Every structure is written in C-alpha cells, then in structure tokens.
Structure 1
Amino acid sequence: MMKKNENSKETSRQPMGRKTKRAMAVYAALVLMMTAGATTVYAAGDPLTVINNLSDFIFGLIRAVGLILLGWGIVQVGLSLQSHDPSQRSNGFLTLAGGVIITFAKEILTLITG
C-alpha cells in the first residue's frame, strides 16, 4: 500500500544531563510558584463585586507588565546615551513611554470614562 521513505531517519531521544535536569526542575518549580501563588479572585454574592475583583486582578497584571517595560526602556535609554546611538535612543524613549502608558492604564481609563 504505502512505502516508507528509505531516506527518512528515525529520531531518538537525547539524554538529559544533570545540569539540564536541574534547570528543568527549577523552571517547573518557578512556574508552579507563579501559578499557584497568583492572586485568587473569589466569587462574592454580588456579581458587581466579582467583576470588580477580576478587573483589579487583570489591571494588576497589566501594571506589572508596564513596570517591566518601563525598566527596560530606562536601560535602553541609558545604553543609547553611553553608545551615542540615535536609533536605540528613540527605541528606548518609545519603550519608556509605552511602559508609562501601560503602567497607568487603569488611571487613564478612569480619567477618560469619568
């Protein structure tokens, strides 16, 4: 019916070294700590309270991403000032501005909606 390709090679498992196993275990432990230690959104009797709790949780995650971008933007601007690279400087300022906007997204939305 179907012939196997003679040129195909079988893949085999590569053995994992001690360092790789340790790194994988540390990575798995960090992932478990991050997911298990996350803030839990509890349901309440009032549906509006549930939505507010979920909104606070999501905006907290967004604020964390914004702070990371803010820090990375500061690093990029600092490196560009040291190396006198104008394109890296513009990227750094754009990342810095994006980080500020993302960090204060909830306050900006509250200001817009009233």
Structure 2
Amino acid sequence: MSNKFNNAMEKVRRGILFGMTAALTCISAYADEDKNKGETEFNNVLDWILVWIGRAGIVLTVWGAVQIALSVSNEDATQRRNGILQLISGLMVMAIGYGAKSIIGY
C-alpha cells in the first residue's frame, strides 16, 4: 500500500511542479504604460499559487484523517502514526497556503 501511496504522491508532486512552472512562465514581462501591471500580474500569480498550496493542504489533511480512521478499524499503530503525521503536515501546508499573505505582508 505504501508503494501505491508513494507513486500517487510522486504524481501529485509532478503535477504541482508542472502547474507552478506553467504559472511562472505565463507572466508577461512587456513594457507598458501601466507601471503597476507587472506587480499586479505577479500578485495574481502569487495568489493563484498560494490558493493551490492551501488546497493541496486540505487534500493532505483529509487523507491523513482517512488514514487515522482506517488505522483505528485495523488496529495498526504504524498506519495511525503515519496518518497523524499526514494530518499535521496537511494542516501546516494549509496554514502556509492561506496564511502566507499575512506573513508576506502584501
């Protein structure tokens, strides 16, 4: 089961990396009369990335909760430990995604 999970997480990591690469390559760097256009586009891309980081944290949190529930039914201590770690990691990623605006201060 952990091999399937590792393969799934690798696909998620690749998807996130592809999405971030695509988002960063979409930023246009053309000179224009609007002097704040570049800053506005950067903030829009940053907002988009942070929202998706928060959403990935939600998914990881839900997956950790499911792992904890399955470990209780199977009485598997290792699965419970991994579920708790995934739950906490998901909450941390979610907090980074949704709380980064206040940390960055823009």
Query: What is the TM-score normalised by the length of structure 2?
Result: 0.58
Percent identity of paired positions between Structure 1 and Structure 2 = 32
Task: Identify the match of residue 63 of structure 2 among 60, 65, 72.
Answer: 72
Runs of 4+ with deviation above 4 angstroms:
41-44, 110-114
Q: What is the number of equivalent residue pairs in this alignment?
A: 75
CA RMSD of aligned residues (A): 2.5
Query: What is the TM-score normalised by the length of structure 1?
Result: 0.55
The structure with the larger Rg is: 1
1:85 aligns with 2:76: yes
The structure showing larger relative contact order (alpha-carbon pairs under 8 Å, at least 6 residues apart) is: 2
Which position in structure 1 is the counterpart of 2:43?
52
Q: Give structure 1 stretches of 5+ with no counterpart.
A: 1-34, 36-40
| Pair 113,52 (structure 1): closer, same or farther in 2 beyond 3 Å | closer
Per the TM alignment, residue 109 of structure 1 is displaced from its structure 2 partner at its CA by: 3.8
Write 1 or 2 for the structure with the bigger share of helix: 2
Per the TM alignment, residue 73 of structure 1 is displaced from its structure 2 partner at its CA by: 0.5
Distance 2:86 2:74 in 1: 18
Q: Give structure 2 stretches of 5+ with no counterpart.
A: 1-18, 20-25
